[in-house]
Amino acid sequence: SQTIHQWPATLVQPVGSPLSLECTVEGTSNPNLYWYRQAAGRGLQLLFYSVGIGQISSEVPQNLSASRPQDRQFILSSKKLLLSDSGFYLCAKGQIYGYTFGSGTRLTVV
Amino acid sequence: KNEVEQSPQNLTAQEGEFITINCSYSVGISALHWLQQHPGGGIVSLFMLSSGKKKHGRLIATINIQEKHSSLHITASHPRDSAVYICAVMGRGGGADGLTFGKGTHLIIQP
């Protein structure tokens, strides 16, 4: 199975509150994992990727961080959310034969 | 960095029409994905292509590697096909490169 579990599907959080989005994957061990964000009116953009446990690379500076505490767990976090953090967040697993996607989380910061 | 352009950005059609959505990219790739995003936001992977053509039900995807172009076709379109369709390309550098996404085509099929 190549399933990716991502939750929650929707989330409304106040400005200044913390955030934790979790993504867990099934299938082949040691996958490349990715967090993408889609802001309003824009395409999905890469936030973080991980090639292994504890290995995180960031593509853009931001108010977010990512962690990979286990091989098949990828977490996106923030200590204090900003209004500009609103958007659609997508977890993905990438391997040489292609990508598998979570269903995404719609985050609204109010 | 690959530039991915989709056209049209918005498309409204009548039920039953044949739909074509286009995707062009600027740098050679190893594969291309077509994704569907419904109004609730969930992403569904429709196709992954590295050459030729694939068909699944009423959906057909083609890719021309030399032209750096892919098309997604929907035959006998139906209101339930209304969604955002996103093209994403996978670089030749391997998985660490991630995907580059187009901005999506917002399709509305009217009954």
pLDDT, tens digit, for every residue of B10-37?
A: 999 999 999 999 999 998 888 899 999 8
Strand-pairing partners, residue B107, are B11, B83
What residues are paired with B32 via a beta bridge?
B49, B89
Best of A30, A101, A106 to substitute, by most chain B Cβ atoms within 10 angstroms, is A101
Condensed to tens digits (0 to 9), the pLDDT of residues B41-52 reads: 678 889 999 999
**10-residue mean pLDDT series, chain A (110 residues):** 82 96 89 90 88 87 90 95 94 82 92
The pLDDT, as a whole number, for residue A1 is 47
d(CA B92, CA B30): 5
Is B63 near chain A, with CB under 8 Å? no
Whether the CB-CB separation of B87 and B102 falls below 8 Å is answered with yes
Of B81, B60, B88, which Cα lies nearest the Cα of B11? B81
Token pair of A79 as six digits? 């200590």
Q: What pLDDT is stored for residue A94 in this prediction?
A: 83
- Give the integer Cα–Cα distance in Å for A52 and A49: 9
Which among B74, B24, B22, B28 has a CA at the least distance from the CA of B50?
B28
Specify the pLDDT at position A40: 80
Residue type for position B55: K
B103 contacts A42? CB cut-off 8 A: yes
For residue B45, give the nearest of A32, A95, A101 by CB distance.
A101
What mean pLDDT value characterizes chain B? 91
